[in-house]
Structure 1
Amino acid sequence: MSANRDSAYRVMVVDDSAVIRGLLSRALEEDPEIAVVSSVANGQMAVSSIARSEVEVVVLDIEMPVMDGLTALPKLLEARPGVQVVMASTLTRKNADISLKAMRAGAADYVTKPSSSSELTSADSFKRELVAKVKALGANARRRLGPPKSAGPVRAAAVRPAPAPRQVTLRRPPMMGPRALAIGSSTGGPQALLKVLGELKGPLDIPIFITQHMPATFTTLLAEHIARVSGRPAREASEGETVMPGTIYVAPGDWHMRAEQSAGGVKLHVDQSPPENFCRPSVDPMLRSLVQIYGSRLLTVILTGMGSDGLKGCQAVVAAGGGVVAQDEASSVVWGMPGAVATNGLCYAVLPLDRIADHLKPLLARTAA
């Protein structure tokens, strides 16, 4: 356990392997802003101890004896409303599907664990991802829960000053209806995407392009989930396919997705050129390619996510006369990506998640204009 770090984010690690719990705890506590206050072996133990520990973030394994992660998740959220849960699993189709179901049930995010303790020991990129997500979600939990009451007196130097409200200046909305819709998202994005697309009912004569920061396997399943909730054809983009109206295209994990105008219509290309904004797939290359085709008729929505991926792409969209909508801070799991475009004056609307679909419907009805 971390000693006397008064303002550190309080984390519970739940995994049936004592070795993995130890490795995860050490990786987290290398950062002075994180304190692992509880480490337990199954979901039932997690539910029993969460209220006593005033936990802000739970790193929750999926496959465990006694009570697995998916069963424990709603019980943890009920026991401590506002706690942020990160699902942790090895990258299999089964675990990816469970992770997506968990996010629909209230988990904030996921991490894909290396498949063995020896791989985990040397997996620096995994450790950086885990720490970054825990800190971002810890900040979100603290906004919802307030500072832990049992942490003892907080040293003046350790008090985190409340961030100043970020100013947002809105642009004028575009005059014409879109001919393509592009969506970028990351942390919290699967839940947000499924909500927006599930509520976007009615005729749709334009393609939708999505870049969600996810590894392979996850994006395959995300497209399947989107198809089910939206009632529209949705799939991972594949090299050289022709874009069809009313179809949803998801950038495949570990591949950038770009579009290109050709004699036979708009074609999709996927490639493994270097990551942008530490991401592959990245929102920026998708937007850069789409704006070359659709120009002022491209509508872009930036949903919840860490970092600023999509900022440069949205600058290109606005320069071409297109429109940008961002999810607002209160409804975002992390207001990084949407906050970047909103505070840089690129948006004509900044909306709560539950209002985005209703905002899009009349715009998409104007596509024939």
Structure 2
Amino acid sequence: MSVALAGSPAASSTQYEPLRVMIVDDSVVIRGLISRWVEAEPDMTVAASLRTGLDAVNQIDRIRPDVAVLDIEMPELDGISALPKLLAKKRDLIIIMASTLTRRNAEISFKALSLGAADYIPKPETTREPHAAEIFKHDLLQKIRHLGSKVRRRATGVAPVAAAAPAVLREPAAPLAPAAPTVASQAALVKRAFGATAPRVLLIGSSTGGPQALMTLVADIGPLIDRYPVLITQHMPPTFTTILAEHLMRASRHPAHEGVDGEAIKPGRIYLAPGGRHMRVAKQGGNPVIALDDGPPVNFCKPAVDPLFTSAIDVWQSGILAVVLTGMGSDGMRGGKEIVAAGGSVIAQDEASSVVWGMPGAAANAGICAAVLPLNQIGPKLVRLFSGDRS
């Protein structure tokens, strides 16, 4: 058993107290890397570095972490088995699952989300390749910081001041967004009128917390999907998007798959941007088709939401209704501005129901939203809008 404990948390706390991070991984190399990265950040500290899930379960009462980075494959007690035991002992623990990019681990990561994990992160195949290690580092620190802010907000009632994150060439997590307004101030954000044109397509963008939100949303909009196409960009790596499409198909009871370059876009189907490629929309013979793009990251993301939003304007003009769901950064805000300028409409998820109110908060703060709604109200609202309601 390999254990490294940090000092006990101070008796008094402020909104600036560092986040206590527990690292649970049977790889000494991974534990060492993450420990060094965390300790180098001014707003977080390593509370413990542990080898197995059993160590974490047995010692969590003493460690009292805010955030746990939990490996999936470990001896004695693996991550998926340790997850519910950890949450039973500390209900507000933020757990980030870490796994390699295999189909099995992607499926386990989705199961972990349903069991209460806050998010997941794919580990690089090797940490010897500098670019891969830097991407992993940036993504992980972003997730710890953003998700950990939920713990601080609950404790203090005040959103913490986040440290700036380094820019890198590619990662699914976007840079830190400007501080979002509190839930109480959201009424002041609203609202512009919905576009006068009846919508003909639904576009959705999401990131951290998105898989869970998407499952809820597509289950609520069956009548809409019957008559209109739905296109989704979720910040997610390859393999994970394949699994997500399968989950969306089961949740919606409609065909759902990763978009294929050149395929026709038809009502009754859900098209998901494949991991590692942007999904745009184009016209072919006058009809809308999927156009996959292997170009550079946009908003530090690939796939990104803005390419989908902006490209759809040439196809559907003012007949676009876009939804920005939970996620880090501001992806979707610029594309949303262009959709509104073209006569379309944007709805954002509200802060209280978002895992991270970065993307929807950026859209709301930009003044482009016709509504800012809790997740459970977005589906019914969309069904009414696509049925002719313009208010």
Fold conserved between structures, TM > 0.5: yes
* Cα deviation, residue 52, structure 1: 2.8
- The 5-angstrom pairing of residues 1-369 of structure 1 reads 7-116=17-126, 118-119=128-129, 123-146=133-156, 165=182, 167-202=188-223, 204-263=226-285, 265-366=287-388
Q: Is the 1:13–1:40 Cα contact (8 Å) retained in structure 2?
A: yes
Range with greater deviation from structure 2 (116-125 or 39-48): 116-125
Partners of 2:243 and 2:281 lie apart in 1 by 22
SS for the counterpart of 1:202 is helix
Q: 1:340 to 1:164 in 2, by over 3 A?
A: closer
Q: Deviations over 1:138-170 (max 9, x none)?
A: 1112223459xxxxxxxxxxxxxx986455131
Q: Deviations over 1:243-290 (max 9, x none)?
A: 111100000111011111222521111011111100111100100111
* Cα deviation, residue 113, structure 1: 0.9
Partners of 1:326 and 1:39 lie apart in 2 by 38
TM (norm. structure 1) is 0.90
Q: What is the identity, as a one-letter code, of the residue corresponding to 1:184?
A: G
Range with greater deviation from structure 2 (105-114 or 276-285): 105-114
Alignment: residue pair count: 353
Partners of 2:255 and 2:294 lie apart in 1 by 25
SS for the counterpart of 1:12 is strand
* Cα deviation, residue 122, structure 1: 6.9
**Gapped regions of structure 2 (runs ≥ 5):** 11-15, 158-178
Q: What is the identity, as a one-letter code, of the residue corresponding to 2:68?
A: V
Q: What is the identity, as a one-letter code, of the residue corresponding to 1:138?
A: G
Percent identity between the two aligned chains: 49
* Cα deviation, residue 331, structure 1: 1.2
SS for the counterpart of 2:32 is helix
RMSD over equivalenced CA pairs, Å: 2.2
Q: What is the identity, as a one-letter code, of the residue corresponding to 1:292?
A: D
Partners of 1:117 and 1:275 lie apart in 2 by 21
Q: Deviations over 1:328-365 (max 9, x none)?
A: 11111111100000011111111111221122122233
Q: What is the identity, as a one-letter code, of the residue corresponding to 2:234?
A: Q
* Cα deviation, residue 45, structure 1: 2.2
SS for the counterpart of 1:277 is coil
SS for the counterpart of 1:110 is strand
Partners of 1:122 and 1:366 lie apart in 2 by 48
Q: 1:268 to 1:121 in 2, by over 3 A?
A: closer
Q: Is the 2:180–2:361 Cα contact (8 Å) retained in structure 1?
A: no
Partners of 1:193 and 1:215 lie apart in 2 by 16
SS for the counterpart of 2:97 is strand
SS for the counterpart of 2:222 is coil
Q: Deviations over 1:174-212 (max 9, x none)?
A: 334321000001111111111111232335211101001
Partners of 2:220 and 2:329 lie apart in 1 by 27
* Cα deviation, residue 134, structure 1: 0.6
TM (norm. structure 2) is 0.85
Q: 1:225 to 1:366 in 2, by over 3 A?
A: same
Partners of 1:231 and 1:237 lie apart in 2 by 18
Q: Deviations over 1:186-242 (max 9, x none)?
A: 111111111111232335211101001111111111111100111010000011101
Q: Deviations over 1:87-119 (max 9, x none)?
A: 101111111111122122221211111234545
